[in-house]
Structure 1
Amino acid sequence: MSVIKKVAIFGAAGNFGTPITAALTRAGFEVTIITRIESESTFPDGIPVVRTEYTVEKLTAALSGQDAAISVIGPGGLHAQIALIDAAEAAGVKRFIVDDFGWGPKFNSLPEFREIGAQRKVTYDHAKKLCQANSNFTYTGITIGNPIDWAIKRFPLMGFDVKQRSAVIYDDGTVEFTGTTLEGIAQAVVGVLKHPDETANRHVKARSIQVCQNQLLDAFQRVSGQPWEVKRAATSDLLESGRKKHQGGVSGWILELLVYQLFGPGGRCIVASKEDSDVDLLEMKEESPDDIARKVLESVAN
């Protein structure tokens, strides 16, 4: 495949889109932001912004001349992703990075998440089908595991209330999981586009760290320079509460069951070992618990 230079991104102002857009610019790609006409999002100065209707016809015109397209439109926009893929293929885009930044297609999730997983599968199955019919069009999915620094800051239920300097340790706090920082997610995207042949038509496995709650707690106390208040909780309570909410149609079940999967028995949330991941290909760096703690504490302070 020829070198990728011109890159369009959907969702550039989002939680993942913002660092991805910045990393693409730093890496020397010619970035174009594509967004809906009615979007009120603000974007970095100096990057072209195309506002368009999200129809295949209009999107095809917007993507004309682009080498790659990246979808980071978030869960609320997944229904539009088929149109994005169809438009990219029609416009002659060489690579489409699907919005599947999560645990990947082979993850053993709880039954309650299977419908969500099926929705995501429709997207990359559609991209795969187009690739089989058009050898000039390719796709990549990026498996990141837990978006660790972003998630810890946003969701205290993950066990760390950074502002209050308090922690909730589930069970014995030793279950490990893999996570990717916002910096790592952005670098994974850059790595895919820098190595298009090796990353074509598959999900790559990204990771910044493999860690457990106890290691993170030690790091937060070390980096903050003070002891944290520590409480204990059982993952079984999260499972019971989340399932009751799901059955009753009550909001909040998704987060409770996600945290159960993360810290519950069995260590299901390890995407890959460092050796079995694509971190070297993607030129990602391994990060330490102290790195994670420092990033979270700095983001809260800012």
Structure 2
Amino acid sequence: MSVIKKVAVFGAAGNFGTPITAALVTAGFQVTIITRIESDSTFPDGIPVIRTEYTVEKLTTALTGQDAAVSVIGPGGLHVQVALIDAAEAAGIKRFIVDDFGWGPNFNSLPEFREIGTQRRAAYDHAKKLSQTNPNFTYTGVTIGNPIDWAIKRFPLMGFDVKQRSAVIYDDGTVEFTGTTLEGIAQAIVGVLKHPDETANRHVKARSIQVSQNKLLDALQRASGQSWEVKRGATSDLLESGREKHQSGVSGWVLELLVYQLFGPGGRCIVASKEDSDADLLEIKEESPDDIARKVLGSIAN
């Protein structure tokens, strides 16, 4: 495959889209942001922005001349991703990075997430189908596991209230999971586009760390220089509460069941070992619990 230089980004102002866009610019790619006409998002100065209707025809025009497209549109926009893929293929895009950024297509998720999983799978199944009929069109999915530094700061239910210096440790706190920092997620996209042949038509496995709650708590206490208030919780309570909310149509079930999957029995939330991941290919550095703690506490201070 020829070198990828020009990259279009959908969702450039989002939680993942912002660092991804910045990393692409820093890495020397020629970035164009594509967004809806009615979007009120703001974008960095100096990056071209195309505002367009999200129809295949209009999107094809917007994507013409680009080498690659990165979809970071978030859960609320997943229903338009097939149209993005069709437009990318019609415009002659060489690589489409599918908006997945989760646990990957083969993850043993709880049945309550089946509908969400089906929606995600529809996009990468469609991209796979087009890649099989058009060898000039390729795709990549990026499996990240838990977006760890972002998630710890944003969701106290994950066990850490950073501002209050308190923690809830679920069960015995020893279940390990893998995570990728925002920096690692951004680097994963750069790595995919720098190594198009090795990453074509598959899901790559990104990771910054494999860790447990207990290890994170120790690191956060060291980084903050103080002991945290620690309470105990049970993942079985999260499972019961999340399922009750799901059955009753009450919001909040998604996060409770996600945290159950993360810390529950069996250690299901490991994307890959360091050796079996694509971290080296993508040039993602392995981080320690202390690295994560410093990033989280530093982001709160700022």
TM-score range, shorter chain: over 0.9
RMSD: 0.4
| C-alpha distance in 2 between matches for 1:180 and 1:200 | 21
Counterpart position of 1:193:
193
Residues 72-130 of structure 1: CA deviation (Å, up to 9, x unaligned): 00000001111100000000000000000000000000111111111100000000011
Deviation at 1:171, TM superposition (A): 0.4
Q: What is the DSSP-based 3-state SS (H/G/I as helix, E as strand, rest coil) of the residue aligned with 1:281? A: helix
Amino acid at match of 1:255: L
Correspondence list, 1:90-105, <5 A: 90-105=90-105
Counterpart position of 1:267:
267
Q: What is the DSSP-based 3-state SS (H/G/I as helix, E as strand, rest coil) of the residue aligned with 1:215? A: helix
Deviation at 1:301, TM superposition (A): 1.3
Counterpart position of 2:21:
21
Deviation at 1:145, TM superposition (A): 0.2
Amino acid at match of 1:147: P
Counterpart position of 2:113:
113
Counterpart position of 1:129:
129
Correspondence list, 1:102-251, <5 A: 102-251=102-251
Q: Which runs of 5+ in 2 are unaligned?
A: none
Amino acid at match of 1:205: K
| C-alpha distance in 2 between matches for 1:121 and 1:64 | 26
The number of equivalent residue pairs is 302
Counterpart position of 2:35:
35
Q: What is the DSSP-based 3-state SS (H/G/I as helix, E as strand, rest coil) of the residue aligned with 1:280? A: helix
| C-alpha distance in 1 between matches for 2:38 and 2:245 | 35
Identity over aligned pairs, percent = 88
Counterpart position of 1:256:
256
Deviation at 1:176, TM superposition (A): 0.1
| C-alpha distance in 2 between matches for 1:249 and 1:40 | 30
| C-alpha distance in 1 between matches for 2:138 and 2:188 | 17
| C-alpha distance in 1 between matches for 2:39 and 2:297 | 31
| C-alpha distance in 2 between matches for 1:157 and 1:212 | 15
Deviation at 1:184, TM superposition (A): 0.2
| C-alpha distance in 1 between matches for 2:294 and 2:38 | 37
Q: Which runs of 5+ in 1 are unaligned?
A: none
| C-alpha distance in 2 between matches for 1:149 and 1:280 | 20
| C-alpha distance in 2 between matches for 1:273 and 1:96 | 26
TM-score, normalised relative to structure 2:
1.00
Deviation at 1:247, TM superposition (A): 0.8
Q: What is the DSSP-based 3-state SS (H/G/I as helix, E as strand, rest coil) of the residue aligned with 2:279? A: coil
Amino acid at match of 1:92: G
Say whether 1:3 aligns with 2:32: no
TM-score, normalised relative to structure 1:
1.00
| C-alpha distance in 2 between matches for 1:244 and 1:41 | 36
Q: What is the DSSP-based 3-state SS (H/G/I as helix, E as strand, rest coil) of the residue aligned with 1:139? A: strand
Amino acid at match of 1:188: A
| C-alpha distance in 1 between matches for 2:290 and 2:57 | 48
Q: What is the DSSP-based 3-state SS (H/G/I as helix, E as strand, rest coil) of the residue aligned with 1:40? A: coil
| C-alpha distance in 2 between matches for 1:82 and 1:117 | 15
| C-alpha distance in 2 between matches for 1:3 and 1:210 | 33
